[in-house]
Structure 1
Amino acid sequence: MTPRIGLILFTALLMQCENPVKTPLPGAETIPAQIRQTDCFNGGNALFHAARITEMGNRASGTPGYRRQIDYLKEELAKYGWTCREQGFEKETPQGPVRFVNLRARFGKTPNFLDPVRGLLTCHIDTKQGIDGFTGANDGASGAAAILETARILSGEPARAGNLELVFFDGEESFAEHMDSDDGLYGSRHYASAMQQPLPKWMINLDMVGRQGKKIRIPSMTPQ
């Protein structure tokens, strides 16, 4: 599967089976009381997950909130047949050594995490430190919520799900005010350094995808 085809398929998954969802008028949306079992990607379900995650408050690396988030993701993914594995590691930061935890998920009860996959669907789930009242509804929670809903849909297509790894990165935010070459992207760098051949054919990273009316387009530099 080429990167372009992978992105087209995922973009299609974000739409209703028959008709695209029209952009709603500005205003607060109602958070569903529970997950709806639909055949298509359901935006309300993603909103439900985003709300549950933001209720955990600060989810910066190494915090109790981050641990609660990891446990929530594992519990929700297990409901639809995904098995999770934590990828823990320690790195030096401007605030000293920090223990990070990436979360990987593959479909099935006993997947071999060493087996190659064709694609990766990823996001980051840590929140930025030092911002009063910031709970990362869009910057962090929206990507995780979209992946949880996508995982629910893909559970009905075992062959496709089995060719995919879901990765929730820790430590993507910097510990200083601004990111530089040494501070930030801790989780994705560690994950990439541990990857084995053959590498996946494509990767889609979701970041800040929860804004109302958000449009996902195919980048012009995407290979044909």
Structure 2
Amino acid sequence: MPGPLTAAPRTLLRRTSARLHGATAVLSLCAALVVAPAAAAESRTDGTPPVVSAGQVMPHLHALQQIADRNGGNRAHGTPGYRDSVAYVKAALDKAGFQTSLHKFTYNGTEGYNLIADWPGGDADHILFAGAHLDSVEEGPGMNDNGSGSTALLATALEVSKAGLKPDRHLRFAWWGAEEQGLKGSEAYLRDLPAAERARIDLYLNVDMAGTKDNKVWYVVDDNAAAAKAFKDYFAARKLRTEEIGVGGSDHESFGNVGIPTGGFATEINECLHEACDRIEQIDPETETTSTNAFISTVWQLAARS
């Protein structure tokens, strides 16, 4: 995560380091994990969100860990580990029927990439935008910060495809680069996005650190009432504690800074934040799956409102 979300000790945080070449091994991993777009006859139009299991979510985190292991132990801006992370997610989305593109930017003399994925359909004048940062710091693989959020986001997108969802709002997903450097990827995207296009974004939802082991609270962004209520209601129905946080300290800050309403959540911070020990072993599959299903449920709910 990038800098503090609140003045309190529970903070979210900042980023550092990206590059892009999809290795054959990365692409073959995708083939086993991704479902093709559902046929029209299977389209989910009743507004009922799907529920995923740990078996559907955790393989993506294991894939990101393997990418880091093959590339010097990290997935940071300007590194092969980040490039291969982007290639992995992009291949999954392409197979699932998303319209993907790479938004390129330069930071600290190095080319960076944001991966943007649009789900066909929905009202293009009313966009529900969901995102997470994909990069880690140079010190480690970043499995909780933020492989966990990137995985929750990818699992959500794949469920949209599997269901053949026909949302009222247009759905856009993004995996940000160089956020550990100080939100550089999301800032660059919004800087390059014309004002008229920004005005079409109704709401941005963020997920940062979704799988903290021994997590006891979910921190919910309180900027947008509908998003905050959707997340808090989901956790409350499962007797899980939430606390509200403001706009700041993670990818949603860039959107808030240009006047776009934001929502999202994060789990607690642990001692492996921005360290080499932020590995797959630090992820609790139950927490990660709960977070993923909370994100899916909220996207389903808010996509149906125009």
**Short-chain TM bin:** 0.5 to 0.7
Instruction: Report the alpha carbon displacement of residue 217 of structure 1 after superposing the two structures with TM.
Output: 5.8
- The residue correspondences of 1:188-199 to structure 2 (distance < 5 A) are 188-196=186-194, 197=196, 198-199=199-200
Unaligned runs of 5+ in 1: 1-33, 175-183
Q: Are 2:97 and 1:99 equivalent residues in the alignment? A: no
Give the SS at the match of 1:87: strand
- The residue correspondences of 1:129-140 to structure 2 (distance < 5 A) are 129=138, 131=139, 134-140=140-146
Q: Supply the distance in 1 between the matched residues of 2:167 and 2:218 (Cα, whole angstroms).
A: 22
State the superposition RMSD in angstroms. Answer: 2.7
**Counterpart contact for 2:127–2:203, Cα < 8 Å:** yes
Q: Supply the distance in 1 between the matched residues of 2:76 and 2:34 (Cα, whole angstroms).
A: 30
Q: Are 2:56 and 1:70 equivalent residues in the alignment? A: no
Give the letter aligned to residue 177 of structure 2: D
Change in CA separation of 1:192 and 1:36 when aligned onto 2, cut-off 3 Å: closer
TM-score (norm 1): 0.67
Instruction: Spell out, residue by residue over 1:140-198, the C-alpha distance to the aligned partner (whole angstroms, 9 max, x if none).
Output: 21111111110111111432297111011000112xxxxxxxxx111010111123322
Q: Percent identity?
A: 26
Unaligned runs of 5+ in 2: 1-31, 36-49, 69-73, 227-306
**Counterpart contact for 1:107–1:162, Cα < 8 Å:** no
**Counterpart contact for 1:154–1:160, Cα < 8 Å:** no
Of 118, 128, 133, which residue of structure 1 is paired with 2:137? 128
Q: Are 2:157 and 1:151 equivalent residues in the alignment? A: yes
Change in CA separation of 1:36 and 1:75 when aligned onto 2, cut-off 3 Å: closer
TM-score (norm 2): 0.50
Q: Are 2:200 and 1:173 equivalent residues in the alignment? A: no
Identify, as 1 or 2, the structure richer in helix. 2
Give the letter aligned to residue 54 of structure 1: Q
Change in CA separation of 1:40 and 1:59 when aligned onto 2, cut-off 3 Å: same
Give the letter aligned to residue 83 of structure 1: Q
Give the SS at the match of 2:116: strand
Q: Supply the distance in 2 between the matched residues of 1:55 and 1:193 (Cα, whole angstroms).
A: 33
Paired residues in the alignment total 171
Give the letter aligned to residue 144 of structure 2: N
